[in-house]
């Protein structure tokens, strides 16, 4: 029989996945209504990875993410009001409205930044892991990257250094099968597990759409990484939306796109929770509460002030004198 704390943990993971899904569904609408400047890349269908991994971390830890990083920062606990203001370019955003979707950072929560360059967060996380090691913080660094980064030399270099220096770094690969517009098999000839083995780093593969499995393995790996041993965690998942919002996806077989509904991490979690005794009314209560919370944050963001032009140079140039 499942222990109460394990069931509570699964409910918490479901709440987080539902929050991420609701936020990104609303961002899609806001983008279509020209309320969001620039491009956005949604992680709909991949929520289990963010929720499961973040649930294993504590306040000492740091994390770097990528261009598809909304779910990661939300699961890390970023202020939702300030998050929406940031994505919508408002002065009250977590970065003053200057970072936008692909560069969200919040040092108070250990979020050392998203990045629009493929693989660029990997060496940043390496530096953070080195800092944890030298300062003996007891914390670890986590970096999220997609399968599109597996062919990047910076990943190979970072694996090498993390192994040589025994750094507390957890590599999390969200393998959704696509590198922008190309299937993974067409742009990377090896397997991530073999690459990790070349640098003597243990690799673990999991169904990235099963939040209970992701959470369980993440907890184990985080414990191992805290001892100063890097690990590679590969989560096979599914990209429901295009590479970017508005991507027509003409390069992608229609049946492959549609298959996402069969493996939806939220639907799978709901089925499990119902088997454990949660009622439909209970699930609907969670969903309604989250929808109301997100709607309030959006209204606050819409009412937020536009950044003052003079602030555009903030954190870019040192003031004279």
The CATH number of residue 262's host domain is 3.40.50.970
Asked whether residue 317 is domain-assigned, the answer is no
Asked whether residue 314 is domain-assigned, the answer is no
Asked whether residue 316 is domain-assigned, the answer is no
CB 237 within 8 Å of CB 51 = no
Whether residue 49 has pLDDT greater than 90: yes
Task: Look at phi and psi of residue 193 and say left if phi exceeds 0, alpha if psi is from -120 to 50, else beta.
Answer: alpha
Whether residue 1 has pLDDT greater than 50: no
Higher-pLDDT residue of 2, 256? 256
Asked whether residue 135 is domain-assigned, the answer is yes
Asked whether residue 320 is domain-assigned, the answer is no
Question: Which residue in 116, 103, 115, 201 sits closest to 156, CA to CA?
Answer: 201
Whether residue 170 has pLDDT greater than 50: yes
Question: Can you give the pLDDT at residue 247?
Answer: 66
The phi and psi torsions of 289 (rounded to 5 degrees) equal -60, -40
Give the domain extent around 288.
Answer: 4-305
Higher-pLDDT residue of 176, 204? 204
Question: Can you give the pLDDT at residue 244?
Answer: 67
Question: Can you give the pLDDT at residue 178?
Answer: 63
Please state, as a whole number, how many other Cβ atoms lie within 10 Å of the Cβ of residue 302.
Answer: 13
For the record, the structure tokens of 315 come out as: 């954190």
Question: Can you give the pLDDT at residue 253?
Answer: 74
pLDDT tens-digit series, residues 245-302: 776 677 777 776 665 656 899 999 999 999 988 899 999 999 999 999 999 999 999 9
Asked whether residue 311 is domain-assigned, the answer is no
Asked whether residue 240 is domain-assigned, the answer is yes
Whether residue 12 has pLDDT greater than 80: yes
Whether residue 62 has pLDDT greater than 60: yes
Question: Can you give the pLDDT at residue 256?
Answer: 65
Asked whether residue 195 is domain-assigned, the answer is yes
Q: How many domains does the structure of the chain reveal?
A: 1
Question: Which residue in 238, 242, 208, 223 sits closest to 49, CA to CA?
Answer: 208
| Per-residue pLDDT band at 321 (split at 50, 70, 90) | low
Question: Can you give the pLDDT at residue 281?
Answer: 94
């Amino acid at each position: 029989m499942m222990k109460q704390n394990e069931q509570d943990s699964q409910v918490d993971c479901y709440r987080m996945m539902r929050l991420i899904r609701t936020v990104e569904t609303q961002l899609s609408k806001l983008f279509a209504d020209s309320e969001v400047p620039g491009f956005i890349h949604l992680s709909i269908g991949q929520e289990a990875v963010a929720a499961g991994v973040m649930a294993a971390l504590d306040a000492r830890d740091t994390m770097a993410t990528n261009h598809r990083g909304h779910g990661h920062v939300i699961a890390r606990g970023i202020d939702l009001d300030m998050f929406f203001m940031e994505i919508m370019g408002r002065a009250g955003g977590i970065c003053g409205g200057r970072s936008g979707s692909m560069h969200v950072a919040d040092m108070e929560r250990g979020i050392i930044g998203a990045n629009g360059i493929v693989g660029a967060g990997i060496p940043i996380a390496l530096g953070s892991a080195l800092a944890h090691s030298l300062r003996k913080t007891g914390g670890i660094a986590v970096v999220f990257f997609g399968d599109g980064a597996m062919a990047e030399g910076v990943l190979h270099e970072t694996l090498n250094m993390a192994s040589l220096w025994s750094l507390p770094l957890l590599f999390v690969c969200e393998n959704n099968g696509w590198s922008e517009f190309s299937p993974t098999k067409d742009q990377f000839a090896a397997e991530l597990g073999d690459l990790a083995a070349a640098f003597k780093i243990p690799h673990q593969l999991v169904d990235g759409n099963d939040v209970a499995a992701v959470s369980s393995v993440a907890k184990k790996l985080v414990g191992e990484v805290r001892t100063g041993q890097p690990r590679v965690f590969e989560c096979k998942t599914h990209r429901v939306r295009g590479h970017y919002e508005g991507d027509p996806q003409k390069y992608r077989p229609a049946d492959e796109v549609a298959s996402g509904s069969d493996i939806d991490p939220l639907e799978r979690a709901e089925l499990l929770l119902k088997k454990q005794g949660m009622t439909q009314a209970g699930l609907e209560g969670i969903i309604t509460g989250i929808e109301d919370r997100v709607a309030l944050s959006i209204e606050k963001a819409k009412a937020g002030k536009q950044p003052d032009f003079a602030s555009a140079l903030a954190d870019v140039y040192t003031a004279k004198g």
